[in-house]
Amino acid sequence: MNHDMPFSSAGGESLLSTHSVYGAPCWVSLTSRDLKATEEFYSAVLGWQWRPARLGEPFRIALADGAPVAGIAAVAAMWQMAVAWTPYFAVRSADDAVSRAAERGGTAAVGPISLPPGRAALLADRDGATFGIWEGELFSDWETWRTSRPAFIRLHTRDAFDAAIFYGEVFDWAGADGCCEVQYEGDEVVLRSQGDVVARIESGALGAAPDPAIRPHWQVHFAVGDVAACARTAERHGGSVLHLGDEEAVLRDADGAQFTVTARGLVS
């Protein structure tokens, strides 16, 4: 869940609402079993620092060079949730988004629930890929987070074009009020917000595959300076390397959550 969105309303800072960026990816969040172990792993591998979130002790905000990059929630064991990285999309109404997803074959795993100053839900699309929605305030420097692209998301799914129709209808990507543009580039569907690539959708995942890395899922990418060094450090700290290339590595953290590190400048 998006329990750890780094909202900030102190000090009179101006706040951005999900109404302004409707349909765009707006955050990434990790569920964890052990907060301390998770902090130690990602501090070593990605160099993150940490600060508390407003929702209490089990929640943390990850900082990269002092800027918010992701949220961590140590609720996997407590709430019997999977350990996983999840992207969140901005919506005007969590209730409407859940209804639109259900009407198109998606399912709601959790919510919508109230998490002041907003509402959230955890959903799965019709091929089983998990994603979240958020209705409410975004943190004051969210635009910096968006344009610097510390995180990028890619959907590996059975049929990219069918998935684009599902998400496009749920988030009104093609509507007059949507903030995103959908383009078909070769075998991929590319989502842009204000000219920047914010997500990609590609075909090839297998719904019945025993390996969860091959089944439909959203993959979260983080930009790094040295891909190979991140892979080595992940292994030294209890993680594993699923794939290692010159410019990208697919890793699992010590808790089992899968993520990708991509050479800086190639994230989008």
- Mind listing the domains of the chain with CATH numbers? 18-263 (3.10.180.10)
State the Cα–Cα distance between residues 204 and 217, nearest whole angstrom.
11
Task: Tell me whether residue 256 is exposed, middle or buried, using C-beta atoms within 10 angstroms of its C-beta: 0 to 12, 13 to 18, 19 or more.
Answer: middle
Percent of the chain with pLDDT over 90: 49
Residues 6+ apart with CB under 8 A from 229: none
* Confidence check: pLDDT of 180 > 50: yes
* Closest among 100, 87, 190 to 130, alpha carbons compared: 87
> Nearest 5°: CA angle at 108, between 105 and 112?
135
Q: How far is CA 236 from the centre of its chain?
A: 25
* Confidence check: pLDDT of 11 > 60: no
Instruction: For residues 228-237, give the mean pLDDT.
Output: 97
* Closest among 123, 131, 90 to 107, alpha carbons compared: 123
Tell me if 74 sits within 8 A of 30, measured CB to CB.
Answer: no
Distances from the Cα of 126 to the Cα of 107, 129, 157, angstroms: 7, 8, 10
Instruction: For residues 44-70, give the mean pLDDT.
Output: 84
**Other residues' Cβ atoms within 10 Å of the Cβ of residue 87:** 24
Q: What pLDDT score does 148 carry?
A: 60
Instruction: For residues 216-221, give the mean pLDDT.
Output: 94
260 or 54, which is more confident? 260
Percent of the chain with pLDDT over 70: 82
| Whole-prediction pTM | 0.89
Q: Is the dihedral of CA 70, 74, 78, 81 positive or negative?
A: positive
* Confidence check: pLDDT of 6 > 60: no
Joined tokens for residue 225: 């300076």
Tell me if 122 sits within 8 A of 132, measured CB to CB.
Answer: yes
Among all chains, which residue has been given the structure tokens 């930009």? 223
Residues 6+ apart with CB under 8 A from 8: 15, 139, 140
